[in-house]
Structure 1
Amino acid sequence: MRSVAKTRETKETNIRVVFDPDTPGTIEISTGVAFMDHMLNAFARHGGFSLTVEAKGDLEVDCHHTIEDIGIVLGTAIKEAVGEGRGIRRFAHAIIPMDESRATAALDISGRGYLVMEGSFTGISTGSIPNDVFEHFFYSLCINAGITAHVIFSGVNDHHKCEAIFKAFGIALGEALSIRPGNTAVPSTKGTL
């Protein structure tokens, strides 16, 4: 069982994440930022894993610290769930349309955190979230999870772009974390991720 619970408490935030890549269905998201709740719900539902996120942050300042720290804690939980990576597929990608928008997420659970994000938003914010915070969320997640991710998106409506990105990333993550039947090897020519 690869279920992991992680917490992080700072002067700015208090975050609790429970991540279970093997048991779909339990999704409980409460970040204090309604649009982020919506995105994380789509991320987990389409990724096929259980996810609980409880976040309290200094939202009176803005949502940056809260969303950044969710990325940090979720990334840390994913890394712990991966462990040595024995039997995982490691690589995966997904291309997801959302009306006029489209997002591609290509992931490598390599142990090396890196993010390339290509695309632009039309407006300054989506929901109450400044659009630059979405890239920072995925950067924080990737660095802490040890995932290299390339995310490419296009479209007109920023809500649709965000939703396509979160769904594509979730689907690719679920596939990359899936276990190949009968395979217990670490998926690396080096013998370690």
Structure 2
Amino acid sequence: MSETSSPAPATGRTGSVERNTAETAIAITVNLDGTGTYDVSTGIGFLDHMVEQFSKHSLIDVSMKIDGDLHVDQHHTTEDSAIALGQAISEALGDKAGIGRYGHAYSPMDETLTRVALDISGRPYFIWNAKFTQEKLGEWDTELIEHWFHSVSQSAGLTLHCELLYGANNHHICESLYKGFARAMRIAVERDPRKGGAIPSTKGQLGG
């Protein structure tokens, strides 16, 4: 689904991934300096909704088109969407000069509260402390949600902690986690003018 206005021409930090395998055909473009516009079509309605939430609340423009083997199941489409999105974000970040690097967010949604904290460290590490009591949200298998976050963490080089503090409604839990991830990413990818383009690490580089 598309945002009411199409993503603006890329003038900031952008990354693109195109990949065709026997399981998925993917084309993804991101603009870290965007306005949160999106054009998302994965073939899985609830996944579309979550990627749109990520774009809207991170202000990262996202164009994502996936043709996957959904006649088999949703695993490949879900996993590959996260891998390619993480790769595009990593490309757009470049050497990560001047970025905030760290981000965190508490996201209340009615009865639900989640916490997401991340470090664009270049050293992927993932902690998940959340669970769902339904097998599906829409047609999307809820067991794949944790796997999506793990895959984007690995491919983007993020230390990523996702935690459900409390909540009961499965839709609210999932959406709160995606919005928290978006808001944490917005903080982490933004350039801090006080850093003067310096790499945010005493080592002089991130990763490794």
Identify the TM-score tier after normalising by the shorter chain: over 0.9
TM-score, structure 1 length as denominator? 0.97
Give the letter aligned to residue 67 of structure 1. Answer: T
Paired residue secondary structure (1:192)? coil
Counterpart check, 1:47 vs 2:58 = yes
How far apart in 2 are the matches of 1:80 and 1:5? 8
Counterpart in the other structure of 1:13: 24
Counterpart in the other structure of 1:74: 85
How far apart in 2 are the matches of 1:7 and 1:173? 23
Higher relative contact order (CA 8 A, sep 6+): 1
How far apart in 1 are the matches of 2:61 and 2:96? 19
Identity value in percent = 42
How far apart in 2 are the matches of 1:45 and 1:20? 12
Q: How does 1:79-158 map to 2 (within 5 A)?
A: 79-153=90-164, 154-158=166-170
Q: Which runs of 5+ in 2 are unaligned?
A: 1-11
TM-score, structure 2 length as denominator? 0.90
- Report the Cα offset of residue 26 of structure 1: 2.5
**Count of matched residue pairs:** 193
- Report the Cα offset of residue 182 of structure 1: 4.1
For residues 41-79 of structure 1, give each alpha carbon's deviation from its aligned partner in whole angstroms, at most 9, with x where no partner exists: 111101111011101100111111001000110010111
Counterpart check, 1:57 vs 2:65 = no
Among candidates 174, 188, 199, match of residue 176 of structure 1: 188
How far apart in 2 are the matches of 1:33 and 1:9? 18
How far apart in 2 are the matches of 1:175 and 1:59? 34
Paired residue secondary structure (2:70)? coil
Counterpart in the other structure of 1:159: 171
How far apart in 1 are the matches of 2:108 and 2:74? 27
How far apart in 1 are the matches of 2:176 and 2:91? 26
Counterpart in the other structure of 2:3: none
Q: Following TM superposition, where does structure 1 have runs of at least 4 consecutive aligned residues deviating by more than 6 angstroms?
A: none
Among candidates 199, 202, 208, match of residue 186 of structure 1: 199
